[in-house]
Amino acid sequence: MALKGRDWAMVLCGGIILTIGMGARQSFGIFQKPIAADLQVGRELWSFANGLAMLLMGAAAPFVGGLADRFGGARTVFGGAVLYVLGMVAIAFANNGLTLIIGNAICGIGISAAGLGPILGIVGRNVAPANRTLAFGIVTAGGSFGQFAIVPVVSILERRVDNWHTTMLIVALGSAIMIPLVLGLREPLRAAASQATAKALNWRGSLNEAFAHRGFWLLTLGFFVCGFHVAFVGLHLPAYISDKGIGLEFLGLKLTAGELGGWAIGLVGLFNIIGAVLWGWLGGRHQRKDMLALLYLLRALAFAVFLVLPLSPLSVLLFSATLGFLWLGTVPLTSGLVSFMFGPAYMSMLFGIVFFSHQIGSFAGAWGGGRLFDMLGNYDAMWWISVGLGLFAALCNWPIRERPVPRLAPQPA
């Protein structure tokens, strides 16, 4: 069964909103060293501000998910997009650490409301069950395309403008495009009617059902690791490459170490366009929990190989491409598993809880990277922690029983 015209419009608008929102968010690693130099502080300040934003993004996710399930996803996404842009404007005019932290906090709450949970909930309610995991993969790939298209441009812009305030303001103004795209997420009446007649619990019953489910907690625990990996790499890989002085010169193309860091994150996004769709497709044909275990295992292997190989422009690009293939493939698999086990009626809220764990991991990866760097002068410990956590996540997902809760099981005639 193929996606229908209205479904495609919803998937594309949701994907483009994530393209802009997540792409701009992933560019924040470019500002790590300029902000530290401008404010004469270590890397922990910007790392903590970003980590706090990710933590608030996760803390708000169950609440904005509940609002989206009850009052409409499009309204929730609209409000989130406005907050997100305002937060970036605040960061652009910041001249002290407190304003940076407040601006990041506003961004975190905003992107939570205009992010994966509400958008995937809208898609899940409107796309046929057979196509949901694939649709989730396409939407998720939108965020990756933004990472590819936006982060390298921001790195070049920052080098040429040589003023992080101006660069951040340009990113904020460009992100305002998210707001009118919300019109494409308005749900038709059939979605509301089908949700009202679905055999579903109220939100309290849905929470109790999920909290009593062992697989829900294993899935939530594994998603913590995804957040740790994504935040650490996204925020600290550009600085790591710059610290090592790894530039690139090939066929007349010259990239400084700072620019190569931006292109490395962009390459992660490019290959995740393929990875997110492919893992979503695989999740429709194989058990999603098995695919998640395999993905986390491959991530741990990718980190280990990157550390063992001599650092060079080639190893950076190969690592970025490999990690991109494994980057956000967890999202269609995880969200698809939540929808499959508990149904789509309260998916935004339940995925929001799982996503909160992801963002706790993001806080640990973002802030921990800056903290350990300021303590040890390098990122070595964080890289090996990432390897161990990848193995841990694979072990969490493997024993999950992939089947609907009894409430959703077919009833005998």
pLDDT digits (tens, 9 = 90+) for 141-157: 776 777 777 888 888 89
Instruction: Give the three-state DSSP class for 343.
Output: coil
Q: Which residue has the tokens 């395999």?
A: 294
Q: At residue 254, what are phi and psi to the nearest 5 degrees? A: -120, 125
Residue 271 lies in a domain: yes
Q: Which has more pLDDT, 165 or 261?
A: 165
Tell whether the model's pLDDT for residue 354 goes beyond 50: yes
Task: Quote the pLDDT of residue 198.
Answer: 46
pLDDT of residue 22 exceeding 80: yes
Does any domain span residue 287?
A: yes
Better-scored residue on pLDDT, 122 or 168: 168
Domain that holds residue 225: 11-183+210-402
Residues 49/101, Cβ–Cβ less than 8 Å: yes
Distance CA 366, CA 235 (A): 6
Whether 252 is in a domain gets the answer: yes
pLDDT of 194: 46
How far is Cα 167 from Cα 209, in angstroms, rounded to an integer?
Answer: 47
Q: Which of 183-192, 221-230, 255-264 has maximum average pLDDT? A: 221-230
pLDDT tens profile 195-218? 444 444 566 777 888 888 898 999
Total domains in the fold of the chain: 1
What CATH number is associated with residue 238? 1.20.1250.20
Average pLDDT score over residue span 394-409: 85
CA of residue 119 relative to chain centroid, distance: 13
- Estimate the share of the chain in helix, then strand, then coil, as percent rounded to the nearest 5: 80, 0, 15
Encoding tokens for residue 151? 């982060």
* DSSP bridge pairs for 250: 253
In a domain, 411, yes or no: no
Please indicate, yes or no, if residue 412 is contained in any of the structural domains.
no
The reply to whether 74 falls in a domain is yes
Is residue 245 helix, strand or coil?
coil
Confidence check: pLDDT of 248 > 50: yes
- Give the up-direction half-sphere exposure of residue 191: CA atoms within 13 A in the CB hemisphere: 22
Q: How confident is the model at residue 272 (pLDDT cuts 50, 70, 90)?
A: confident
The better pLDDT of the pair 392, 408 is held by 392
Question: How confident is residue 193, by pLDDT bands cut at 50, 70 and 90?
Answer: very low
Neighbours of 88 (CB within 10 A): 26
Does residue 200 belong to any structural domain of this protein? no
- What pLDDT, in 10s, does the model give residues 115-131? 877 888 888 777 777 77
Q: Please check whether residue 317 lies inside any domain of the structure.
A: yes
Rounded CA separation 97/249 (Å): 36
**Exposure of 375 by Cβ count < 10 A (0-12 exposed, 13-18 middle, 19+ buried)?**
exposed
Nearest Cα to 237, choosing from 23, 26, 17, 22?
Answer: 26
